[in-house]
Amino acid sequence: MVSKRLSRLEGHRRKFMAVIDGTPECEKAVHYAGRRAKNTNGGLVLLYVIPEGDFQQWLGVEQIMRAEAMEEAEAVMAKAAHRVRETIGIDPEIVIREGSAPEQINGLVEEDRDIAILVLAAGSAKEGPGPLVSALAGRGAAFPIPVTVLPDTLSDEEIDALA
């Protein structure tokens, strides 16, 4: 069970969360979440999850691998945040975590009780809608907040009209 959302209380605001996962469709999710946040005077949280890797190397190698993964995550997030600032005009919150994406999403939702909606975009590849959409869809009613899933065929203009 998820903690009660605080986004409607005084001093709080509803936040939309999008996951930056390197898929082409994640940009659509970020665009929609950012537009919804701006149009509703809400906030935008961008989450990047460094996959659980085989960091069980020698201590020095493990530290180097983790540092490289963190540098890559920070670069990707800086680019995503810059794009949001330039195209939408809001300043997103940046969160970087390591582990399983569904577990980290749930953990962040539990910790930040202003996060009220998760926005994802489904891919149209023959392999399916994408790993994150598939993982969360398989959980069904167990997911703690509403999830908005966008088709990846929408243009930015269509997204703007919907948001």
User: CA 150 to CA 148: how far, in whole Å?
Assistant: 7
User: CA 5 to CA 18: how far, in whole Å?
Assistant: 17
Q: What is the pLDDT of residues 47-57, one digit of tens each?
A: 999 987 655 66
pLDDT band at residue 24, thresholds of 50, 70 and 90?
confident
Q: Indicate whether 1 pLDDT > 60.
A: no
Fold of 15-162: Rossmann fold (3.40.50)
pLDDT at 152: 80
Average confidence score pLDDT of the chain:
84
User: CA 142 to CA 1: how far, in whole Å?
Assistant: 8
CB 107: neighbour CB atoms within 10 A? Answer: 14
pLDDT at 121: 87
Nearest to 135 by CA among 118, 157, 153, 154: 118
Domain extents in the chain:
15-162
pLDDT at 136: 60
Nearest to 120 by CA among 19, 23, 6: 19
pLDDT at 118: 93
pLDDT band at residue 22, thresholds of 50, 70 and 90?
confident
Q: What is the pLDDT of residues 106-153, one digit of tens each?
A: 899 999 989 999 999 887 655 555 566 556 655 554 667 888 888 888
pLDDT at 40: 93
Q: Indicate whether 102 pLDDT > 60.
A: yes
Q: Indicate whether 62 pLDDT > 80.
A: no
pLDDT at 10: 77
pTM of structure: 0.85
